[in-house]
Structure 1
Amino acid sequence: MGEAATRLRGQLRELLRARIPADFRGAFTDDPVDLDIAQRFCRYLAAQGLLCLAWPEEFGGRDASVWEQTVVREEMWAHHEPRGAQYMGVNWVGPTIMRHGTSEQQRDHLPPISRGEVIWCQGFSEPGSGSDLASLRTAARRSGDGWRISGQKIWTSYATMAQWCFLLARTSTGDRKQQGLTVFLVPMSDPAIEVRPIRAMLGPHHLNEVFFNDLEVTQAHVLGTVGEGWKVVQEVLAFERVGIARYARCERLLQTAPGVLGDDWDDLPAELRGRWTRMLVHCRRARLLAYRVVAMQSEGRVQPSDAALYRIAVTTLDQHSAEVLTEIASYATSSNEDAERFRLDVRDHWNYSQAATVASGSIEMQRILLARTLLPAAS
């Protein structure tokens, strides 16, 4: 990545040590203090020009390289993502508005994202149409000069705290289900929107149901062209999937294990140490696949299948490394603070990993997408 990226990585690690408690395990725990820590840290990053540093200056960035933004992404995910939900706005909501939004939408939405002041949620999945997103039923019907939106979304992360929703709804029908879909940018404060949390072992805020009860919107809420939302969403998903650098978290935990176990490391079975080594190799593989997609995105030629390949690698890494780390943690007999923190970190990693192959598009759908690209005659 170069010397600039190396310096940036060191700078970020110093900031994390100085401003994030050692026992921090993400913004979305049962303790509201953790969310407050993330929100304050996010605004601090923004004030230092480190939140959206690869964005153009006119939109609140520093015109830095995509590789410097990748360093930020990796260091944040390696340390329990202390930006909270801001990665959505930074990685894909903001860039999508830059490419498809009107000047008014860019003026209204991009500055708050670049300052770390706003949280977005994503209104995509529905009951019965999660992996098959194009089959969604949420409908936007013409009402005067605008639309009335009715329907239900599910698994919507951060909906309880978000100020805005990046919503996909059907505005018309066509020969193919991908036709007639439109993206709307809607305020979550509207009384026509109801949010119901879903209890889960991931903790609060991660999973919610969202109901749209005749939500009234105008043309100003439409992102891009009416009926062309599927093209926007395909672009969004490519950015979203590579924007979750879980390989950095896996590698940090794996690298931490020998030092935490100390003399107990010698008691690990040779087979388990071998699996630990393979997981480190898999971390590097996932990282290189991510870099391949980042390079393609910087040239404007990324395809959904490229992101699918990375997503398959990183989600399987998540789960396989969680299994290996859980076994390793069982050999940590010490009761010191570092060992206890390691055990808790591994448990948190295992909990998150269980949803990895379903979130952001199931692994089965990623494999189908990849297969259709490799074998076009079969699609």
Structure 2
Amino acid sequence: MDLTFSAEDEDFRAEARQWLADNLAGDFAELKGLGGSGREHEAFSERLEWNRHLGAAGYTCLGWPVEFGGRGLSLSQQMIFHEEYARSNAPARVNHLGEELLGPTLIAWGTDEQRARFLQPIVKVEELWCQGYSEPGAGSDLAAVRTRARLEGDSWIIDGQKVWTSLAHHSDWCFVVARTDPGSTRHAGLSYLLVPMDQPGVQVRPIVQLTGTSEFNEVFFDGAVTDVSMVVGDPGAGWGVAMGTLGFERGVSTVGQQVGFARELAVVTERAKSTGMIDDPVIADRLTQARIGLEVMRFHALRTLSAYESGSVGPEASVSKLVWARWHRELGELAMDILGGSALTVGPDYALDDLQSLFLFSRADTIYGGSDEIQRNIIAERVLGMPKEQRP
């Protein structure tokens, strides 16, 4: 793993840093620090406009091949942009699911017609996407999905329910894993469908979270319709496509995520200093361990990304999710211990401060995106070669 950057990389860093400094100005300057986990409701329309500004300037889809609207930048340059974006305190982006998950999936498995239809609107942030994977009773165990789709003439007809669907209430389209082979079970007989959200057969119901916000949703499909051409890969072979999408989720944006984590740790440390809790040797030790854990995360992410670049990454990417989820949850707990009794009080209308939001939202970190238990099974079975867990 080479941790050095070339002269070309450093030129790109200077370019990105200068562009962000010049453009996070005027009305856009007011968006700094807004959005993110548990705070997706903040200035959503304004952040969408900022994302479109990024797209017009060529700062979306950086790693996509040029022929699909990207810039074809190297992995190191993509990582540099995510680092600089986080360091500039730019607002959380609203197009992650389209840019980082669905777009690369279509580049890898989509038809020419699907790429022509969907990739440019993702680059320009003209259409937003959500992910129709988890269901009641089929969360981390995605192979248990019960949402069904049947082919009638030139259309797929979808019936079922998805849950924990991030930003579904803002999305134009959803990529849905549905069972299309009657009588099939587990991984067989699933298809990966692209479904428009604005139609009578789709109902979105927000889920109110501990933070008081609702970026997660339930989505009900009741005779929802999509064209026969809107299946990615072969019908019935959607499991491999769905797993490929999840592989993209562990990509380069995790480095930028860790810069955000560092900023949160700095806020927690400053609060410990201002309250005098920094003098408590237990608190000081936990802050030190958090700093060490952050560095471990960074180097592991760089090692994983090096494997991505060589095409050798595999299920060991699950280690990243396991590590950052536990670290972030423990940071929220540390923040509450530093705040002491004041952590139990909130402002009018349930107004949480940043550290309270950090604590409450991070409780879910070890569940969403694949629970800790599932990640440990993947590591044990597919990396360490241990026997598979017995199923009923």
Same fold, judged at TM 0.5 (above): yes
Q: Which residue of 1 aligns with 2:70?
A: 61
State the secondary structure of the residue aligned to 2:30: coil
Alpha-carbon displacement from aligned partner over 1:346-371 (angstroms, at most 9, x marks no partner): 22222221110111111110111111
Structure 1 position 293, deviation (Å):
2.4
Distance 2:386 2:40 in 1: 52
Counterpart CA distance in 1 for 2:260 and 2:46 is: 19
Superposed CA deviations along residues 110-144 of structure 1, whole A, max 9, x for unmatched, are 11111122211000001111111101001112212
**CA separation in 1, counterparts of 2:43 and 2:33?**
7
Normalised TM-score (structure 1): 0.87
- Among candidates 278, 294, 309, match of residue 298 of structure 1: 309
* Bigger mean CA offset, 144-153 vs 106-115: 144-153
Cα distance in structure 1, aligned partners of 2:90 and 2:188: 36
Matches within 5 A, 1:157-236: 157-172=166-181, 177-236=186-245
C-alpha distance in structure 2 between counterparts of 1:149 and 1:62, whole Å = 36
Per-residue CA distance 1:74-95 (angstroms, 9 max, x = gap): 4556677724331111111111
For this pair of structures, how many residues does the alignment match? 368
C-alpha separation between the residues in 2 aligned to 1:169 and 1:4? 45
**CA shift in 2, pair 1:20/1:51, >3 Å:** farther
Structure 1: segments with no counterpart, 5+ residues: 333-342
Q: 8 Å contact 1:124–1:153 — kept in the other structure? A: yes
In angstroms, what is the RMSD of aligned CA positions?
2.9
Indicate yes or no: 2:101 matched with 1:92: yes
Matched residue type, 2:266? Q
Counterpart of 2:361 in structure 1 is 352
The one-letter amino acid of 1:270's match is P
Asked whether the 8 Å contact 1:179–1:228 carries over to 2, the reply is yes
* Closer, same or farther: CA 129–260 of 1 in aligned 2, 3 Å: closer
**AA matched with 1:162:** S
Aligned equivalents of 1:274, 1:27: Cα separation in 2? 28
Query: Is 1:308 aligned to residue 315 of structure 2?
Result: no
Deviation at 1:29, TM superposition (A): 7.2
1:49 corresponds to: 58
Residue 40 of structure 2 contacts residue 215 of structure 2 at CA under 8 Å; is this kept in 1? no
In structure 2, what is the Cα distance between the partners aligned to 1:359 and 1:266?
A: 32
For 1:209 and 1:184, locate their aligned partners in 2 and report how far apart those are by CA, in whole Å: 18
TM-score if structure 2 supplies the norm length? 0.84
Aligned AA (2:291): L
Tell me if 1:252 matches 2:263: yes
Q: Residues of 2 paired with 1:367 and 1:74: CA distance?
A: 28
Alignment of 1:154 with 2:176, yes or no, is no
Identity of aligned residues (%): 32
Residue 332 of structure 2 corresponds to 322
- CA deviation digits over 1:56-83, x for unaligned, max 9? 2222221111222223334556677724
| Alpha-carbon contact 2:380-2:386 (below 8 Å) kept | no
Alignment partner, residue 14 of structure 1: 21
**Range with bigger deviation, 154-163 or 201-210:** 201-210
**Cα distance between partner residues in 2 of 1:298 and 1:150:** 39
Query: Displacement, 1:321?
Result: 1.5
Shift of the 359–12 alpha-carbon distance from structure 1 to 2, 3 Å rule, reads: farther
Match of 1:220, SS?
coil
- 1:281 lines up with 2:288 in the alignment: no
Match status 1:268 vs 2:279: yes
Change (3 A) 1:60 1:149: same
Once residues 13 and 90 of structure 2 are traced to their aligned partners in structure 1, the CA distance between those partners, rounded to angstroms, is 19
Deviation at 1:271, TM superposition (A): 1.9
Judge conservation of contact 1:28–1:203 (CA < 8 Å) in 2. Answer: no
